């Protein structure tokens, strides 16, 4: 009986320990892009190392604000310990973040800031998106030797992270007075397909003698869509092109000269640090208002260096 009793006590104790694992939920903007898969991998790694239950709940589309709002409501009802949110809309999701806070659930915002975050969240983990946009401008400006005509294909209205990148890019180009922005009013939308359509329209509108010298895209889907449009128009490699967030296909295009540079966030680190900050809050330790996860500018010349590989490998599934 004693061995059986000991086994029973061990089993119940182990079960109790599992049940006490802190629950940390992450709601990204979407599920399909490689970027988000890298964020999830980083979060899961931190959860394993730090002893947290990581709950990943992702909208199917990166423009489905209603679904993301519903996910917040569901997780509030589950009484999770910390909610981590990448808001699809900086304004629309603020109310939901505030609701979670009032329910006693600390909120950490990652990837894309909230409008007026005071009272709605305890901190932000992610890229300095304005600085990332400026880095894209510096890279494209240098590739154009400081002169030429440039197109900006925006992402989606209401996305604070890409809004900041776009503004950073436009402000960064002010350092190159001989570069003219000929289009910055078009939005690619939430999918590669919609970005491809908008990109084709831009290349049709600015063709022949009006063909742009440079192009900037602020996220993965707009970069993919523009790359496909340039390939279809036989313009890939003929126009200087800086995109965002590397994947295997985009790195291949970089090596072929079809992309001039890729501004790379560190999504694995973003997911990891989001969970780490959440665990600090659970433990009662101070939480920084901003945790910057860094940015790199990837080119054909530096893509194989140890420094750049450390950033992009998790995003390529290696």
Assess whether the region 2-127+266-287 and the region 129-264 belong to the same CATH fold: yes
Owner of token pair 């078009």: 186
* Pair 80, 308: CB distance under 8 Å: no
Task: Name which of 210, 245, 209 is nearest 227 in CA terms.
Answer: 245
Q: What is the Cα–Cα distance from 27 to 107, expressed in whole angstroms?
A: 11
Spell 97-119 as b/e; 16+ CB within 10 A means b.
Answer: bbbbbeeebbbbbbbbbbeebee
- The fourth-level CATH superfamily of domain 2-127+266-287 is Response regulator (3.40.50.2300)
Domain locations in the chain as residue ranges: 2-127+266-287, 129-264
Quick check: pTM over 0.85? Answer: no
User: 291 to each of 52, 129, 260, how far by Cα in Å?
Assistant: 20, 12, 29
Give, for all 318 residues of the chain, the pLDDT tens digit: 444 444 444 444 444 444 579 999 999 999 888 889 999 999 999 999 999 999 999 999 888 999 999 999 999 999 999 999 999 999 999 999 999 999 999 999 999 999 889 999 999 999 999 999 999 999 999 999 999 999 999 999 989 999 999 999 999 999 999 999 999 999 999 899 999 999 999 999 999 999 999 999 999 999 999 999 999 999 999 999 999 999 999 999 999 999 999 999 999 999 999 999 999 999 999 999 999 999 999 999 999 999 999 888 877 765
CATH tag, 129-264: 3.40.50.2300
């Amino acid at each position: 009986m004693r061995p059986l009793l000991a086994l029973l006590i061990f089993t119940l104790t182990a079960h109790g320990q599992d049940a006490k694992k802190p629950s940390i939920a992450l709601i990204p903007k979407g599920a399909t892009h490689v970027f988000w898969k890298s964020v999830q991998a980083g979060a899961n790694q931190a959860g394993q190392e730090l002893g947290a239950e990581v709950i990943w709940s992702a909208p199917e589309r990166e423009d489905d604000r209603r679904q993301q709002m519903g996910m917040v409501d569901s997780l509030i009802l589950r009484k999770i310990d910390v909610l981590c949110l990448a808001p699809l809309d900086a304004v629309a999701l603020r109310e939901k973040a505030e609701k979670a806070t009032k329910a006693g659930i600390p909120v950490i915002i990652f990837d894309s800031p909230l409008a007026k975050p005071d009272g709605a969240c305890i901190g932000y983990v992610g890229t300095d998106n304005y600085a990332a946009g400026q880095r894209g401008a510096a890279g494209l400006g240098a590739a154009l030797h400081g002169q030429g005509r440039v197109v900006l294909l925006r992402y989606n209205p209401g996305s604070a992270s890409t809004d900041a990148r776009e503004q950073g890019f436009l402000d960064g180009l002010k350092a190159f007075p001989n570069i003219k922005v000929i289009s910055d009013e078009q939005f690619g939308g939430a999918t590669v397909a919609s970005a491809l359509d908008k990109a084709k329209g831009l290349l049709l509108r600015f063709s022949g003698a009006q063909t742009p010298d440079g192009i900037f895209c602020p996220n993965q889907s707009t970069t993919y869509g523009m790359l496909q449009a340039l390939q279809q128009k036989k313009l890939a490699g003929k126009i200087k092109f800086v995109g965002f967030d590397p994947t295997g296909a985009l790195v291949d295009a970089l090596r072929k000269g079809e992309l001039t540079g890729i501004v790379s966030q560190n999504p694995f680190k973003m997911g990891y640090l989001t969970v780490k900050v959440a665990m600090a809050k659970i433990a009662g330790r101070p939480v920084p208002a901003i945790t910057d996860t860094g940015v790199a500018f990837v080119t054909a010349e530096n893509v194989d260096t140890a420094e750049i590989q450390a950033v992009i490998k998790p995003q390529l599934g290696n």
